[in-house]
Chain A
Amino acid sequence: MPETLAKLLSNLQESEALAYVGEALEKGVDPTKLLEGAKEGMSIIGQKFADGEYFIPDLIFSGEIMKGIVALLEPKLKEAHGGGAGKQGRVIIATVEGDIHDIGKDLVVSMLDVNGFEVFDLGVDVPVQTIVDKIKETNAPVVGLSGFLTLAYDAMKKTVDAIEAAGLRDRVKVMIGGGQVDEKVKDYTGADAYGLDAMDAVKLAKQWIGG
């Protein structure tokens, strides 16, 4: 049964997938099982993206379908277990100070989220200190910095420097991404890695903290 949901979701059949979940819940199917099926669907989608079969619109649309499924499951999961889906691995994501672009960042947040990470999305134009404080507060081992403009190079560097100055650098891995980011920018900012797309972010987070 969960296999069917995984298939509907990974084929991006929105109305069919939502109808399936609705009917299954009415029949009394365990919502945890359904959530597992949906997660399996998302991992198939991730694989298809890595294989070059799926592209950004497919990722975004699948995230949208997943949100719909979770909205149906959430109340039942709470009834059954007194809590939502368990998360693994914390990641802080922010668009750096001075830059207010959010499309790439939001995509990274949503892909990390549906891949089971607990994401702390600090938004855009995030001051260096806010990021440092969040690392202290959450103990997140991974920080993702986003930026679209060349001004982001310096803001990223400042952020990495501040993490260092706060004595947290050996506790966190830093990944960067955005419009004009490449290997040269990675070296300049002192980040550990850069990613070209949202699935790179998922790959790096998995590599660094598992999950």
Chain B
Amino acid sequence: MDKQWEQMTADEKQEAQFQKLLSPKDPEGNDVKFESPAAEATYKANLTRIKDAIQMKKKPDRVPVVIFPSMFPYYFAGITPREAMYDYDKCVAAFKKYMLEYQPDMHIGASAPGPGRFFELVDYKLYAWPGHGVADEHCYQCIEKEYMKPEEYDLLLMDPSFYFRNFYLPRVYGALQGFTMLPPFTGILEMYGVAFNFIPFGLPPVQETFKKLFEAGAEALKWAGAMGGCDAELRAKGFPNILGGYTKAPYDVIGDTLRGTRGIMMDMYRQPDKLLEALERLVPIMIAMGINSMKQTGNPLIFIPLHKGADGFLSDAQFQKFYWPTLKQVIVGLIEGGCIPFIALEGKWTTRLEVIQDIPRGKTLWMIDQSDIQKVKATLGRNACLAGNVPSSLLRLGTPQEIRDYCKHLIDTVAQDGGFILANGAFFDEAKPENVKAMVDFGKEYGVYK
């Protein structure tokens, strides 16, 4: 690199990230070995196609085609989500089978099921998962509650890390009860009295928590090893994964897992100033979360699933006051840090387009679910690459011909000047394999730019 990273513009950082991906290195710093020259050529062509679509500087050779599945690969390979969560080798084998069958231009890894034994070790309460509250053959599901109480905003504001460690985490991870006894680390200052801060680490409940953490950490490491191996193998076959991590809109941090949907809505009326202050407080934290993941993984795409700002969930005025300003700061902060925010507009966001279109050009990727895709193209789509929006209902219940018709209409109407990736609109579990196949194959054939 000619210039120091910190001195680079956002443009230069993004380009540098792509160039690094185009000449991938293994952990030892040697050039990655591909299975064949053809696999290497495929890898570079796939990545270049995605890069061109995102940057919007020129049209790619054809419309990129990507699948964003939830549990579909595992159903396809004939294993249950429970097996995928508890047997990492099976999980990886299933994912590879699915990738080789469908051959999309890019993937986002086999990490969707997650490590089942890890969740058991930490006694995770935020989700029910196969064998733990939902059937073996179903996907995990979130259990939304008021994990943060309405009167706890001041605690969160004072020190978010302390609040998470001592209050929030022990409520959603049974094994982390010992954390409630830990002191704030910012009190660890000088010789005199300093040892008092460490007394909690001598207490049995805290030691018990740490023992479980060691075990859980080892399990997470084992799982991550399997995931990394999967990515490396698929890369050697020509399929890039450029997903580097995830972060969230500040409003969703509070509305999804802290206060909950109902809780945050009540706060908008009963304590709007506290809520606004907390949202602002989370901005640098959410930016750092994305940038740190990018640095750790070397992949620039940072996933941001958007939830509680969808059409109807807020009035326009509420959206512009509570949801968008802090999300925009996070998006811009990530871009300036060299990340590519990959934002999923889950559900319908048609009424938000005028507001959210105001973002830097060629620096983001948006997954479009049920929003009016033509309107999205005419607003947000002028500055940002869109991916979508083949419906889950069509993939599950439609016919291959219906899929091809839908994709043809998409390509004809929103892909013509580039900046579009053909994909499904929402993460999906069940689908007819022939419908997924029809989406990918038709996109590759019909999507060639002339």
Contact = CB atoms under 8 A, between A and B. Distances in A.
Interface string A148-173: 11110110000000000000000000
B393 A98 contact: no
A12 B265 CA distance: 13
B139 A60 contact: no
Interface residues of B, number: 35
Nearest to B144: A103
B266 A150 contact: no
Interface stretch (A1-9, A25-33, A37-45, A176-184): A176-184
B396 interface: yes
Interface string B131-159: 00111001101111000000000000000
B214 interface: no
Contacts of A99: 141
Interface range for A:
20 to 34
Contact of B269 (A14, A149, A180, A181): A14
A60 B225 CA distance: 45
A149 B265 contact: no
B78 to A, nearest CB: 17
Contacts of B397: 153, 184-185, 188
Given A151-B138, A151-B429, A103 B265 contact: no
B303 interface: no
A101 B307 CA distance: 14
Interface string A20-64: 000000000000000000000000000000000011111011001
A57 B426 contact: no
A153 B252 CA distance: 27
A2 B268 CA distance: 27
A57 B318 CA distance: 9
Contacts of B391: 180, 182
Interface string B376-418: 0000000000000001111011100000000000000000000
Contact of B315 (A57, A106, A188): A57
A140 to B, nearest CB: 26
A149 B429 contact: yes
Closest 5 CB pairs of A and B: A57-B265, A180-B392, A55-B315, A150-B430, A184-B393
